[in-house]
Amino acid sequence: MELRHLRYFVAVAAEGSLTNAAERRLHTAQPSLGRQIRDLEVGVPLLERGARGVALTAAGRTFLDHARLALLQVDAVAKPHAARHSRRSAPSRSAFLPARN
């Protein structure tokens, strides 16, 4: 499982539709997104698929809570690191002009 799988699942849960999540949030093809979601469903269905979209199963609701928490934790670790990295890559420069008498 990769972080993108978690992001995909959270997007599908928020949209209630594989098609809408693929088009509006993820900018990817729906069949590809469907495969990614099926990869998460190892022995336990997370979504109930219907003509009008998807609904979370009980396992899907539990997984959604854990996926959101995991993504928040990753973001919490990544943001300070990214801020430190960006400061190093763009050093500030100062110049002093001689005073006029």
CB-based burial label for 58 (10 Å; 0-12, 13-18, 19+): exposed
Planar angle of CA 35, 36, 39, nearest 5 degrees: 85
CB atoms within 10 A of CB 94: 4
Does the pLDDT value for residue 89 go beyond 80?
no
Does the pLDDT value for residue 71 go beyond 60?
yes
Q: Which residue has the tokens 């693929």?
A: 22
Percent of the chain with pLDDT over 90: 69
How does residue 79 score in pLDDT terms, banded at 50, 70 and 90?
A: confident
pLDDT computed for residue 80 by the predictor: 73
pLDDT computed for residue 44 by the predictor: 94
Rounded CA-CA distance 84/75 in Å is 14
What average pLDDT does the chain have? Answer: 87
